[in-house]
Amino acid sequence: MREPKLPSVYHLVSLDCVDSTNEEAKRLAALGEDETPDGTLVWAKEQTAGRGRRGRKWSSPPGNLYCSLVLRPEVSAGKASELSFIAALALFDALGTVGEPGHQVFCKWPNDILLNERKVAGILLEAETSGSGNPDWVVLGLGVNVAVFPADTEFEATSFRAENWGATEVDCLEAFARHFLSWTNKWLEEGFEPVRKNWLWRSIGQGKEIEVHLENETLTGIFTDLDETGALLLKTDEGERKITAGDVFFPKA
């Protein structure tokens, strides 16, 4: 496997195997900015304890992409959470760069990427804020099913290979890194609005009935919009709900 060629703002830490690139990135981030600057990118070929959102396991055999980026943005913790939408946009655009034509790629709220209606990639954003100011660090983890995908997921999954895409995890990482840099620059210059709009253009389900699985309930309603913080707005029979965490499903017709 060749080493990725990345823009010079990234500092690559390349590992054969690790528990979780998010955990490793957090350990490195805690060493401080001099040791682990903004742009440190932990990439592993395999994870033994990969984690997904909401405490789920992330299946991590060799062949897929597992990486986590340490960021030190000079913005509030609330604003830093917008980075997960930037990552979703960058992943979507990366799939446009490395993928084959004639396939459907969509962003699914909050930050999954679907390929031909199945989940091909997920994003896990974690942050630590010790004082009252900006976060000390943000860790943005990406998992992309390149070679294989798990069979036992609540939302059906797929991989590049299953869809006959030949791109490797290195191709995908390189494309992601370039797109992430340009989307981050746009966000720093113009704020969240262009990110929100571009995410919506690339998303699935807006204007349609969706189900949202929350911790203790399932809501059904029309996905009307994203608000100015990235929360999903759902029009239900009982009125509008603003959702900040949950899993979206599409009811079968």
Which residues of this chain interact with ligand BTN, rule CB under 6 A? 20-22, 47, 50-53, 56, 58, 66-68, 112, 122-124, 141-143
What DSSP designation does 5 have?
A: P
Q: What single-letter amino acid sits at 52?
A: G
At closest approach, how far in Å is the CB of 119 from ligand BTN? Answer: 7
At closest approach, how far in Å is the CB of 234 from ligand BTN? Answer: 20
Q: Which of 22/168 has CB closer to ligand BTN?
A: 22
At closest approach, how far in Å is the CB of 111 from ligand BTN? Answer: 7
Q: In what order do the strands lie in the sheet with 247-249?
A: 239-243, 232-236, 218-226, 209-213, 247-249
At closest approach, how far in Å is the CB of 116 from ligand BTN? Answer: 17
Q: Which of 132/213 has CB closer to ligand BTN?
A: 213
At closest approach, how far in Å is the CB of 239 from ligand BTN? Answer: 29
Nearest to 75 by CA among 25, 136, 142, 27: 136
**Environment class of residue 141 by beta-carbon count within 10 Å: exposed (0-12), middle (13-18) or buried (19+)?**
buried
Q: Which of 73/110 has CB closer to ligand BTN?
A: 110
**Could you give the dihedral angle defined by the CA atoms of residues 100, 107, 144 and 178, in that order, rounded to the nearest 10 degrees?**
70
Q: Which of 67/243 has CB closer to ligand BTN?
A: 67
Q: Which of 236/244 has CB closer to ligand BTN?
A: 244
Place of tokens 């084959």: 100
**Among all residues, whose Cβ is closest to ligand BTN?**
122
Q: For residues 139 and 127, is the Cβ–Cβ distance under 8 A? A: yes
